[in-house]
Each structure stands twice: as structure tokens, then as C-alpha cells.
Structure 1
């Protein structure tokens, strides 16, 4: 029998035992409707994330301590669907709130300017392209004798205060507002200080959670009970934190082999655009968190098509974390 013929008789599919990995997710919170609950799209995203995590051994979640609770609720929704039970409590792992991954790390003046830019672009689109919705807004304004539905725009002129419109109108405005977030995102990412502060805060959480995974791994090994399935930490934060991290510590390897260090703009066809509400990225720490790779592979969900490979530079993460510590000492 020839070598070729012997190969042809081998099974077409060979089952290979999967080695459990340690993974850190970074999730952008779902949007909240004017009525208070998370958007249906956000809930659907959380359900999909939770379904994908049903087979893991551990799922511990951490969420921004922003008072809106959007990040916390997003984490809870994901964890509730995954339904991973802690052997200590016999309940789902609880979500913990953490600092420095919300917008209080950014100059309030920039936040105000960004918010106005988004709202101005939203109203411009509505009044130029959606006359029925514009008419509803005008009708609400006509009944506002006190002028409470108006505020000052970035040019010092009067504009509609979207957040004070009737709730039913706000619901119709919400999709256009989300669509026009890009205008504000571009402004925010043009601020080196804002980008650096977001990257520092998120890096501090990532480095800290990496240490938690290392201690957990050592404890399991000491008991001769290594994990049989993936161990996952989910950090839930806000828009542009992931983008800021990639801008400071990301590496993009194109199919040609060309490398780009520092992803200045992910709003491209190659990278798939800004991280969307409810979307997660996944950092593959590997089989041993005590031996984290110098280039940490970044994986994306099925909804994002990336033409190339993305990594995080571990040394850059550690540098950013050191800056966090230095900043705290100054404070």
C-alpha cells in the first residue's frame, strides 16, 4: 500500500481534546431606553453572549460603577443566561462593580461637547430626512410654553433638549442618536488625554484580572484540580474604552504580514468599525495565566469581520498600568 493510499484511509475527522483556556472579555454595555430598561437589541446581544458562555467552567463579571447601572445590568444579563454556578455559593457568580472604566476619567467639558455634537447631528438628520418625526418634535415644542424643552447648543444657540422630550418621541429618536454617536466618538478620540485616561483605566483592570486568574490557576493546581473547561472574566465598560486600549496597546497584522502598532482608527473595513453596544472582544490569555503571551490574541464575535489578526502588546498594558499607579500616588 502506498503512503498516499494509507493516508486516505485515515478518519476524515479526528476529535482533539480541547485544552481549557483563560479568557478575559471586554464588553460594551447595552443602551438604555428612555423608559428605563435596556434596549431590546442590547438584551438580545446579552442573551447571545450568555448562550455562547454556557459551556465554560467559571464566569466572573466586573462592571463599571457608573450610576446609570447600564454596564452592571449588561453583565448581569449575560451571567444570568450563561447560568454558571459557583461551587462555593451554589449560585451564579455575582457581578462586582469596579472603578476607572467609566467616563469620570475624562474631562467633563469634553464629555459635554461630545454629547452636544451627537445631539446636534441627530436633530439635523431628523429635520432633514425624517419629516414625520420632526413634526412630532415641533408639536411637543408648541405645547412647551415655559421653554423647558430647549437648551443651548455648541454654537451658543437654542436647540431641542432630546432628553426632555416625551418618552414616546425619545424612543423614536434613540436609533438616530445611536447612529450619530460616530460624530462624538471622532471628537473624543481626537483628545489624547481622554484616550490615554480610558486606556489606563481599562489596562489597570486587565492587569489586575490577569493576576486574579494567575492566583486562581495556582490554587487549582495546588489541589490537583485544574479546570476542565474555559475560565472567563467579563469586564463591562462603556463606548470607546476598547478603542482607546487598542489605540495605545493594539497590534494589527494584515494578511500581507504588515504590522501596525497602535490602532489609531478601527472604523475601517479591515477592522469592522467602532465596538457596538452589547458587543464583546475576547483576550485569549492561554492555557496558563502565569505565562501570558507577549502578544495576547484578540478575538471577536461572529458579527465582526476582521481582515487580519489583532493582538494586545502585554508590555504596553503593563506600562499603562504602571502609569495608573503613578497617577494615584500623585493624587
Structure 2
């Protein structure tokens, strides 16, 4: 049988069905492991998307979704004309942007520094200590922040007073909120992000370092010309994901940290949606806000993926 006949045989429907069934049979254990995750996403991610229709209706819980009056883009128009829209958009984008600007390079730098450590014991100690905050819940994390920044007994204000300054009410001043949110986020996530980069570093061929040493390259040059290029694909993938979640600033942390005194810099789409949706019962309006937020996140993810594909030929799809 020549190559043409072989390809024709492979393309027969029966052969395709048999091949597909064989692949399913070979992957049956992987499919069983995947099944719980698939069920979870179907039940809690995809089926609830049916509720997006109430963004285009004047939803009444007693009438139900279909019997409620259809109002089209009324709530979207109302949201865009709301004076709070620009404030919410600015706060959401800035919190996400600052988290990426300062938080994204932090685990890369820590991973590079840990990769240069020669003491295995010290390296493991630093890695363990750095990623422990990741496992602390946002409630405990915010409680710790409030304790540290307390104007009466907080450690930070005690240092300020030790240098002769007056206590600062950090959590009641809008100008400090973004700094508190971003720095605490770096502290909480830098160690966990480092694990990903250390795993990527372990895949770099050690012969490249040996060849560089023979050529007289020092640690700095090896880091710059071998280590960094070796983790660039991982960096781009994580950057794409971070850009995609730029509009999805952590609701729990902001909600626990903010108060009416700092709404001007702390109020974001998710907290505003919570207030108008659950507290005020305006479900159609809050759904419209959430839908706008989700569509914007998708567009950002698509744009970041397209840019990464053009620049470095690395993308999610």
C-alpha cells in the first residue's frame, strides 16, 4: 500500500470512529479525573450564565425571569451615564494595573535570587516562609493588616511615633488604600508565584550553564542570557492571565479593607455590584454591571493573547 492509499484508508469514517473510540478508551482514567472539574464548571460557571438575560429585563422575583418586562439596554445606558461609572472604572483599572506593575515582577526576581542560592537548606527555608502567606485566608490577612496599621497599637504607627511622627489613620485615608492593597497582595502571592518560575527554571538544560562558564560568563551574564530567556514563555503566559483578570480585582479583600471614607479610591465594580444588587435588591442593574465587567475582561484577555502571539509567538490559543 502506497502513501496515498494509506491516507485514504485513514480518512475513512470507520477508521476515524475506531481511532476516536480508542483514544477515549486510552484516556478513560484521565476523563474520570477530569469529570468532577467539568461538572463543577457546568453547574457553577456555565449554567448560571442563563441569568444574564435579566440584565435586559426589569426583573421581578415574583414574576420570574421570562414574565419580567423586557427593557433592552436600559440598565447599561443608566450605568454608563452614572457619575460613579468613571470612578469605578478608574479604581478597578488602577488597582489591577498596579498589582501587575509591581506584583508581576516580584516572584520573578525572588525566583532568580533563590536560583542563585548555594545553600539548599536556606533556599528551602526562604521558599517555605515566602509562600506560607498564600494559604492565609483574606479574612485573616485583612485582620493582620488592620492590626499592623492600627493608629493606637499598630506596629507601623509605633515605628512612626518612635521617629517623632504622629499616628496615621491609614485605613481612613483614600491616598493610602491602593498602596496597602498592592503591597499586601505582593506579600501574599510572591512565594506562590515563585514556585511556578522555579519549576520553569528546573527545565533549563544545565549544559548551557556549563558552556557559558567555559566561555568565561559570570553569574550575571548567565542569568541574563540563559536563565531569563528560559522562563520567558512562562512569563508571557502568566502575564496574559494577569491582564485577563485585571478587571477582576479581589472582591473579598477590597470589601473587608474599605469603608465609606475611602470610596473615592477603593470602590470597584464588584463591591458596587454587591451594594446595588444584594443590599438594594436591584438585580437587573447589578447583572448589567457584572456583564460589562466580564465582557471587558474577555476583551483584555484576547488583546493580551493576540499581542503576545505577535511579539513572542507565545499564546494561550
Length-normalised TM-score, structure 2: 0.22
- Which structure has the highest helix share of the two? 2
Per the normalisation by structure 1, the TM-score is 0.22
More strand by share: 1
